[in-house]
Amino acid sequence: MQYAYPLLAIFIWAGNTVINKLAVGAIFPSEIGFYRWLLAGLLFTPFMLKPVMANWSVIRPNLGKIFVLGVLGMAIYQSLAYYAAARTSATNMGIILSLMPLMVLAMSIISLGQRLTAGALVGAVVSFAGVLVVVSSGSLGALLDHGLNLGDAMMLFATLAYAIYSTLLKKWQLRLPPLQMLYMQILVAIVVLFPLYLASPKVGPTVHNMGLVLYACVLASMIAPLAWMKAVATLGPSRTTLFFNLLPLITALIAAVVLKEQLHAYHLIGGALTLGGVILSERWTTPLRAVKAAC
């Protein structure tokens, strides 16, 4: 039962990558990005407003950091994913997103003083090679000739934003209840995305897009984070993070069934390299200095 929480979160987030793709043509990115957080804020407020006000003396000194976290993790990451979906496949998005744990590890080594391990170094090279295979559609020559697909570039930047978000969460270690942190970041996303929503074209809520908004709001923005928090509390952060490695595989399977996206050889090779690199970085923890000394 303890594994049900991280698996539920991963399945929901993988499904949300497919939802991003289904939203193309049904609703503008600025709309679904704003509606999902607005609705989540409205649903959370009756339960969270009173605890937040009661804990305001602790929250207030951290408002600047909460704002930065909300911009990176909720506004930039999620919004860029919607724009990327119009220009690349859900399968590509899932594989690129799987780089996130490795990015967090690299930033932890740089900014948090975490030791550089042999696995981190080798894993970074292997994962980078995997992503190159995917974004080049198996032809590095074509990538050099035509450059990076805009959708893949957006997804890489979105993943980087979320990696910075995760690193700052570790670095700052704000002593706030997780639900209050989530609620405050949702409010930040609403405020930050509102000008973009006003300035962008709109189709408005319709029968065809409300299901997409509800999935993004209720499942991806509320239930999945709660399940992930429960998993971290039950299994611990390290064991829970391992489940993130399932994201590209589950995304590709859902995309194949729902979107009829074809899995090509370069997806399988690139996905395997990316996943293998992440696993190497997590499991091969020998300090690099120790490896050099042994040589």
User: What pLDDT does 126 receive?
Assistant: 81
Q: What is the pLDDT of residue 192?
A: 96
Angle in degrees, CA 180, 186, 188, rounded to 5:
105
Predicted confidence at residue 141, as pLDDT, reads 66
Helix (H, G, I), strand (E, B) or coil at 244: helix
C-beta of residue 213 within 8 angstroms of C-beta of residue 232:
no
**How far is the CA of 222 from the CAs of 8, 37, 165, 169, 179, in angstroms?**
12, 10, 18, 19, 10
pLDDT surpassing 80 at residue 114: no
- pLDDT greater at residue 19 or residue 102: 19
CB 133 within 8 A of CB 272: no
Spatial separation of the C-alpha atoms in residues 146 and 124, rounded to whole Å: 24
Three-state SS string across 152-185, please? HHHHHHHHHHHHHHHHHHHHHCCCCCHHHHHHHH
Q: Residues with Cβ < 8 Å from 93, sequence gap 6 or more?
A: 17, 20, 21, 81, 84, 85, 151, 155, 251
Q: 19 in helix, strand or coil?
A: helix
CB-based contacts of 110, cutoff 8 Å, min separation 6: none
CA 259 remoteness from chain centre = 20
Q: How far is CA 223 from CA 11, 109, 193, in A?
A: 11, 31, 22
Averaged pLDDT for residues 264-275: 79
Q: How confident is the model at residue 145 (pLDDT cuts 50, 70, 90)?
A: low
Domain boundary assignment for the chain: 3-283
Q: In the chain, what percentage of residues exceed pLDDT 90?
A: 34
pLDDT above 70 covers what percent of the chain?
Answer: 92
- Judge contact between 41 and 186, C-beta under 8 A: yes
The pLDDT of residue 235 is 76
Q: Please give the distance of CA 232 from its chain centroid, rounded to a whole number.
A: 16
Q: Can you tell me the mean pLDDT for 205-227?
A: 90
CA-to-CA distance for 57 and 226, rounded, in angstroms?
A: 24
Q: Which of 49-53, 168-172, 176-180, 185-189 has the lowest mean pLDDT?
A: 168-172
**How much is the average pLDDT of 243-261?**
83
d(CA 110, CA 104): 10
DSSP 8-class letter at 117: B
pLDDT at 53 over 80: yes
- Could you list the beta-strand ranges (E) of the chain: none
Q: pLDDT value at position 113? A: 73
